[in-house]
Structure 1
Amino acid sequence: MARSTSRPYSETPGATNGGTPLRTFLRTADGVRIDSVYDPGNAVRGIPREPSRDPVFVVAHGFTGSADRPHVRRAARAFARYGAVVTFSFRGHGASGGRSTVGDREVLDLAAAVAWARERGHARVVTVGFSMGGSVVLRHAALGDAGADAVVSVSAPARWFYRGTAPMRRLHWLVTRPSGRLVGRYGLRTRIHRRLGAPPARRAWGRDPVPLSPVEAVPRIAPTPLLIVHGDSDAYFPLDHPRMLAAAAGEHGELWIEPGMGHAENAAPEGLLHRIGDWAVARAG
């Protein structure tokens, strides 16, 4: 996997004592540069972790997020208690190149991050995605050669083109209208591909048929362990979305409905992040 020279990175000097975090740009299969951070995690009893024994958590953020957003860094710190962590900015987000396709080509971004984690020597990879990132980890795990040993999808939609809530109607305006894409670029630091505004809906990604939907992807993930997490106060996607995903997963999936939780990484409480870490370590085998 082609990439630029890695450089030291630490959000807080001394924040990790299991090794020096690194930051680099990965190159995806379609040539996009993806800003990525590798944190080897905390040492255990003062002894640096061994990549071959510990899992690595590859964290996929939500739409308009990035590797540097505070809630993504908070999740990374929580997962660093259980193993190494790779965070990255999807295309069109943060310092990454390209333009956002809102869950389509982003599978290639995640694949590059997972491959980098493997290159660092980790035998076990856990992908954890939030909202848009939650749909990406599902599709990534379903499309073959994924390399994930466990998958966690938090606050993900079950189906495309959902407009049943006010936040999702605003998001559709942001993505499909030229004025919305300007707001995304200059107000939210998210560069959105203009082809997403092309009617009809089946050409929303610039191709027909549209990408595999999350609920269609889920049955293809088995036997890889799958955890679906959703808040019962999610303002974007009501509970029929996680229930559809869980039903599609059958006995190979597990569903957690979190009381009082809102949407994605911004709303995920610290305790939930640690429960996810415990679940992943137990099942990434």
Structure 2
Amino acid sequence: MSNRPAGHVARSTVRPNSETGRRGPIRTFLRTADGIPIESVYDPPPVVYETPSDAADTPSSPSRDLVFVIAHGFTGDVDRPHLRRVADVLGGYGAVVTFSFRGHGRSGGRSTVGDKEVLDLAAAVEWARGLGHPRVATVGFSMGGSVVLRHAALYGGTDAVVSVSAPARWYYRGTAPMRRLHWLVTRPEGRLVGRYGLRTRIHHRDWDPVPLSPVQSVPRIAPTPLLIVHGDRDGYFPLDHPRMLAEAAGDHGELWVEPGMGHAEHAADDALMARIGAWAVRAAG
């Protein structure tokens, strides 16, 4: 058993691709620093890249060294169709690791809605490094977007960070969807709805202490390249959230406000994900 802080592989299954002889996806459970089993999937690069020496200067050039670690939003999991679609697009730019946060899907534990989830991401990033990829880009959506910011601030060890549809501050209740989410998380009847209606097991305890907020995390990420992406029709977090994050990032951050885009991975279309993939290849060097 590893004594490293992030976690270790508890169980894995490898499926070979009989047509190409390449290793197929690996599905495994990782163990976090606080002992939670986290279901994770590794998709190796789909091809052995043979690109011209100047191809790295082109926006669509893939990277043989880069792995994307994707952090889903609240109530998502590794097998949700929208997350698999995101993984498929980013798979054109490098290898991909996806996982289910604690309390989601087949992972153990209960969701802390962005607090202890940083341990889940740390275990996934460590696993990605251990699979032989020298460069890691984390890409998070909504709750996962806040987690990639806190992870980069607290742990480091990433080469590029992409935060999509993330809040800037905690306890925001300024929109109807966020008021519904707070009811879901804070009320016993809401947590029952989460468990049986949304397949999400939510912890009943309040944060203690309150974790570092996304906007407090961002200045600590430098000099790692940071991309903040937000839709101008996001129903959860209005545009003051990404603008606060971008202001906190200063020169090391980049902000994309996407016209007509709603919230998180459901609203991030293939064209946007391809642009994110190309940005990460360039940013991670």
Q: Same fold (TM over 0.5)?
A: yes
Measure the CA separation in 1 of the matches of 2:22 and 2:50: 8
> Of residues 39, 45, 49 in structure 2, which corresponds to 1:41?
45
C-alpha contact 2:48 2:64 (8 A) present in aligned 1: no
C-alpha contact 1:34 1:90 (8 A) present in aligned 2: yes
> Of residues 171, 181, 193 in structure 2, which corresponds to 1:171?
181
> Of residues 4, 9, 14 in structure 1, which corresponds to 2:10?
4
> Of residues 91, 98, 114 in structure 1, which corresponds to 2:109?
98
C-alpha contact 1:55 1:84 (8 A) present in aligned 2: yes
Measure the CA separation in 1 of the matches of 2:125 and 2:77: 17
1:176-195 superposed matches below 5 A:
176-195=186-205
Provide Cα deviations, 1:44-67, integer angstroms capped at 9, x if missing partner: 4689xxxx9420000000000000
Q: Which runs of 5+ in 1 are unaligned?
A: 196-203
Looking at secondary structure, tell me which structure has more strand per residue.
2
Q: What corresponds to 2:157 in structure 1? A: 147
- Sequence identity (%): 74
C-alpha contact 1:60 1:133 (8 A) present in aligned 2: yes
Specify the SS of the correspondent of 1:62. Answer: coil
Q: What corresponds to 2:28 in structure 1? A: 24
- Give the drift of 1:116: 0.1
Q: Measured at CA, do residues 55 and 16 of structure 1 come closer, stay the same or move farther in structure 2, by a change above 3 Å?
A: farther
Amino acid at match of 1:244: M
Q: Measured at CA, do residues 45 and 27 of structure 1 come closer, stay the same or move farther in structure 2, by a change above 3 Å?
A: closer
C-alpha contact 1:158 1:244 (8 A) present in aligned 2: yes
Provide Cα deviations, 1:101-148, integer angstroms capped at 9, x if missing partner: 00000000000000000000110000000000000000000013x311
Counterpart check, 1:60 vs 2:71? yes
Amino acid at match of 1:177: R
Measure the CA separation in 1 of the matches of 2:39 and 2:30: 7
Could you say what the CA RMSD is over the residues aligned between the two structures, in angstroms? 1.9
- Give the drift of 1:20: 1.0
Amino acid at match of 2:179: R
C-alpha contact 1:235 1:262 (8 A) present in aligned 2: yes
Measure the CA separation in 1 of the matches of 2:284 and 2:175: 35
Counterpart check, 1:261 vs 2:261? yes
- Give the drift of 1:42: 1.2
Measure the CA separation in 2 of the matches of 1:250 and 1:46: 37
Specify the SS of the correspondent of 1:36. Answer: strand
Q: Measured at CA, do residues 39 and 17 of structure 1 come closer, stay the same or move farther in structure 2, by a change above 3 Å?
A: farther
C-alpha contact 1:53 1:123 (8 A) present in aligned 2: no
Count of residues in correspondence between the two structures: 268
C-alpha contact 1:153 1:227 (8 A) present in aligned 2: yes
Measure the CA separation in 2 of the matches of 1:260 and 1:138: 24
Measure the CA separation in 1 of the matches of 2:232 and 2:257: 6
Amino acid at match of 1:225: P
> Of residues 136, 139, 146 in structure 2, which corresponds to 1:128?
139
- Give the drift of 1:17: 7.8
Normalised TM-score (structure 1): 0.90
Provide Cα deviations, 1:155-210, integer angstroms capped at 9, x if missing partner: 00000000000000000000000000000000000000011xxxxxxxx31x13x1
C-alpha contact 1:215 1:244 (8 A) present in aligned 2: yes
Provide Cα deviations, 1:15-46, integer angstroms capped at 9, x if missing partner: 99853110000000000000000000210468
Q: Measured at CA, do residues 79 and 143 of structure 1 come closer, stay the same or move farther in structure 2, by a change above 3 Å?
A: same
C-alpha contact 1:61 1:129 (8 A) present in aligned 2: yes
Q: What corresponds to 2:59 in structure 1? A: none
Amino acid at match of 1:178: P
Q: Which runs of 5+ in 2 are unaligned?
A: 1-6, 52-62
Measure the CA separation in 2 of the matches of 1:15 and 1:226: 38
Q: What corresponds to 1:111 in structure 2? A: 122
